[in-house]
């Protein structure tokens, strides 16, 4: 066997997976057909639960420091309306304006620090597998070669050849829409008004937010006092565009003219991207020794969610693959990757398809639907619910014993912890991507059980105000797989902990 894991694709999902595997003690090989990182603008930032996960890895400050733009107000498009969290002190949905080229550079640097082998300009031309290994044929700069691995993960995007070689179906819908997204400066002749509207000489006022016409949807957003604005158009088109051919300013202006029926002067383009919407999800995320993550596994018909979903796929998968490769995975552990992330993908598909229904209707009934939906979002509870749905923070994975405690299956809350060494937090405990048994009540009965797994579990004791449980067993991806209720008797808690440790982390 040449390597343990081959990752096909060095986009954000593939790079995140490689780094997580290294944290778990596995040496992956990343194969990328492009000879260098792409400069073509794609996603404009990160949003949702992946920001919390990056914070739990101790990386968020580094990513935040790399941003060259101010973090926008928490107001997000949703199918032609808005989720406006500006009146909430603690919004359930956040975004980081980190263009994908910059994100990939940061992830590439992180992978380099962890000594990940990334081979750019190496194109995978064929994949086959048997019960013991995956064989890959590669065309590299020095000619073709063959390599074998225990597992292969396809992170090779929407047109995944890995998915095709594995024979995994990718059912769904392609919508006849072309979306154009741009960040541009405006000439001084165009005035950005205090409310965000644009005053265009000779043409009139373009209002902030979304404008729907008989020819499509136009959106504009700006920061107060800035001549840099974000523009967005959606049109129904049958044109097939090559993703590798970048959009131009002229193409953007032509689209604005078709949708609004007016010319909008544009200065320098800081970002230009074009994309179509598809709603597709792989039937399986695993076929034998081949697995899928990111856009190879799912495509969503809305912006702002693909990176969140793909990078969270990677974090969920990495520690499970590592456990299998280290020979300590309990039966069925790797299959939980499909079970959990397919469920998460279905939740994301639910709200992005709802966005399709909201934005594509043009009759009076569709206008009424949008108006009613926007009214519902004026109330805090439904607004928070929608924010958690879009962020992916509402996911509670179904797990054995989940009826024992409300936190089982959920992302671990970032409790402030008082220890003998001083203050810390749950987020700091999972920086190293290792499982943690957090004892909040000095339960020696639970510590005694955990000793048999001390080679793979970090046992930590701490105090916290208004503790939610006596103890929490936290996976490397920060999800809770077991919890002892407050003052739960030893004859109940200890056997349940032993079962959870065996079920998730193997025999003692």
Looking at residue 204, which CATH number applies to its domain? 3.30.70.2450
Tell me which of 218, 244, 278 is where a domain ends: 278
Number of domains in the chain: 3
Residue 403 lies in a domain: no
Residue 115 lies in a domain: yes
Question: What is the model's pLDDT at position 271?
Answer: 82
* Structure confidence at residue 391 as a pLDDT band (50, 70, 90): very high
Residue 238 has pLDDT above 80, yes or no: no
- Predicted confidence (pLDDT) per residue in 107-122, tens digit: 999 999 999 999 999 9
Residue 405 lies in a domain: no
Look up the CATH number of the domain holding residue 101.
Answer: 3.50.50.60
Domain match, 140 and 218 both? no
**296 CB contacts (<8 Å, ≥6 apart)?**
9, 154, 155, 156, 157, 158, 160, 162, 163, 282
The per-type count for the chain, helices as H runs and strands as E runs, is: 13, 27
Domain match, 345 and 492 both? no
Beta carbons of 270 and 101 less than 8 angstroms apart? no
Helix (H, G, I), strand (E, B) or coil at 251: helix
The residue segments making up the domain with residue 331 are: 3-70+91-170+282-391
Least confident range of 132-136, 137-141, 165-169, 244-248 = 244-248
Domain match, 190 and 164 both? no
Q: Which residues are paired to 298 by β-bridges?
A: 281
- What percent of the chain lies above the pLDDT cut of 70? 98
**96 CB contacts (<8 Å, ≥6 apart)?**
45, 46, 47, 51, 63, 64, 67, 71
Distances, alpha carbon 472 to alpha carbons 407, 422, 450, 494, in Å: 9, 20, 12, 12
Alpha carbons 502 and 508: distance in angstroms, whole number? 7
**Strand pairing of 228-236 and 269-281?**
unpaired
Residue 179 has pLDDT above 90, yes or no: no
Domain match, 317 and 344 both? yes
Rounded average pLDDT over 228-256: 86
Rounded average pLDDT over 389-393: 97
Domain match, 152 and 131 both? yes
Question: What is the model's pLDDT at position 435?
Answer: 98
Least confident range of 132-141, 231-240, 394-403 = 231-240
Question: What is the model's pLDDT at position 41?
Answer: 61
Domain match, 158 and 289 both? yes
Q: Which residues are paired to 32 by β-bridges?
A: 120
Residue 333 lies in a domain: yes
Question: What is the model's pLDDT at position 100?
Answer: 87
Beta carbons of 263 and 203 less than 8 angstroms apart? yes
Question: What is the model's pLDDT at position 314?
Answer: 98
Least confident range of 66-75, 106-115, 279-288 = 66-75
Question: What is the model's pLDDT at position 274?
Answer: 87
Residue 86 lies in a domain: no
Q: What is the pTM of this model?
A: 0.91
Question: What is the model's pLDDT at position 148?
Answer: 97
Average pLDDT in the chain: 93
């Amino acid at each position: 066997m040449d390597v343990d894991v081959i990752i096909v694709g060095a986009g954000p999902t593939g790079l995140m997976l490689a780094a997580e595997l290294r944290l778990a003690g596995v040496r992956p090989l990343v194969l990328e057909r492009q000879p260098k990182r792409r400069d073509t603008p794609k996603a404009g930032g990160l949003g949702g639960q992946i920001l919390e996960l990056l914070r739990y890895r101790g990386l968020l400050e580094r990513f935040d420091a790399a941003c060259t733009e101010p973090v926008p107000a928490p107001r997000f498009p949703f199918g032609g309306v808005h989720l406006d969290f500006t009146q909430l002190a603690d919004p359930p949905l956040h975004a980081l304006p980190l263009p994908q080229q910059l994100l990939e550079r940061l992830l590439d640097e992180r992978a380099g620090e962890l000594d990940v082998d990334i081979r750019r300009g190496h194109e995978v031309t064929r994949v086959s597998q048997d019960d013991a290994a995956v064989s890959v044929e590669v065309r590299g700069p020095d000619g073709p070669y063959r390599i074998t691995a225990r597992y292969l993960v396809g992170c090779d995007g929407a047109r995944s050849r890995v998915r095709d070689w594995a024979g995994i179906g990718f059912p769904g819908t392609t919508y006849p829409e072309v979306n154009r997204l741009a960040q541009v400066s405006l000439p001084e002749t165009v005035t950005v008004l205090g409310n965000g509207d644009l005053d265009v000489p000779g043409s009139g006022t373009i209002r902030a937010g979304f404008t729907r016409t008989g020819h499509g949807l136009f959106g504009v957003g700006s920061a107060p006092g800035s001549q840099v604005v974000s523009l967005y158009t959606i049109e129904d088109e049958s044109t097939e565009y090559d993703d590798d051919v970048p959009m131009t300013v002229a193409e953007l202006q032509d689209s604005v003219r078709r949708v609004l029926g007016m010319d909008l002067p544009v200065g320098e383009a800081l970002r230009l991207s074009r994309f179509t919407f598809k709603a597709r999800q792989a039937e399986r995320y695993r076929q034998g020794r081949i697995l899928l993550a990111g856009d190879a596994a799912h495509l969503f018909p809305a912006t702002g969610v693909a990176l969140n979903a793909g990078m969270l796929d990677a974090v969920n998968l990495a520690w499970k693959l590592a456990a299998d490769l280290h020979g300590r995975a309990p039966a069925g552990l790797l299959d939980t990757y499909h079970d959990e992330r397919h469920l998460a993908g279905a939740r994301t598909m639910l709200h992005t398809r709802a966005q399709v229904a909201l934005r594509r209707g043009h009759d009076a009934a569709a206008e009424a639907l949008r108006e009613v939906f926007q009214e519902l979002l004026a109330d805090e509870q439904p607004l928070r619910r929608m924010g958690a749905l879009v962020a992916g923070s509402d996911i509670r994975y179904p797990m054995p014993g989940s009826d024992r405690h409300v936190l089982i299956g959920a992302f671990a809350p970032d409790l402030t912890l008082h220890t003998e060494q001083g203050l810390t937090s749950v987020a700091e405990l999972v920086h190293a991507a290792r499982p943690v048994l957090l004892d909040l009540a000095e339960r020696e009965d639970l510590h005694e059980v955990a000793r048999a797994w001390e080679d793979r579990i970090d046992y930590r004791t701490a105090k916290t105000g208004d503790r939610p449980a006596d103890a929490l067993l936290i996976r490397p991806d920060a999800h809770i797989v077991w919890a002892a209720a407050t003052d739960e008797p030893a004859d109940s808690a200890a056997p349940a902990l032993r079962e959870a440790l065996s079920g998730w982390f193997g025999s003692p």
